[in-house]
Amino acid sequence: MVTLSNVELLKRVALFNSLSVSQAQLLLSATEKKRYKRNECIVEEGTKSNKLFVILSGTARVTLNTGNGRELSLALIQTGEFFGEMSLLDGQ
């Protein structure tokens, strides 16, 4: 099994693939790598966040609680995709 460096992982994400190695390393110095458990909540609706989340492996579901105890799946975010960029821009 080949293990990729954090720079190589970051450069696999379309948003960051044009960064030079030194730029990627600078960005990595401001990042935190975290593993989430299956079905663990990453961000809850209505909670302010100042983070950009990048899926390095696996998938994340975007869901909405409908109010009657049901959960509606809105999207599936896969390896190489990201979310949270809007809260970085508008602070919401």
For the chain, give the number of residues: 92
DSSP summary character for residue 1? -
Burial profile 8-35: b = 16 or more Cβ within 10 angstroms, e = fewer: ebbbebeebeebeeeebeeebeeeeeee
Helix ranges restricted to H, the chain: 6-11, 21-28, 85-90
Handedness of CA 89, 11, 43, 73 (dihedral sign): positive
pLDDT score recorded for residue 78 = 92
pTM confidence score: 0.72
Angle, CA 75 vertex, CA 56 and CA 54 arms, to 5°: 20
Residues 11-41 have pLDDT tens digits of: 888 888 898 989 988 888 878 888 999 989 9
Structure tokens at 69: 């105890």
Residue 92's pLDDT band (boundaries 50, 70, 90)? low
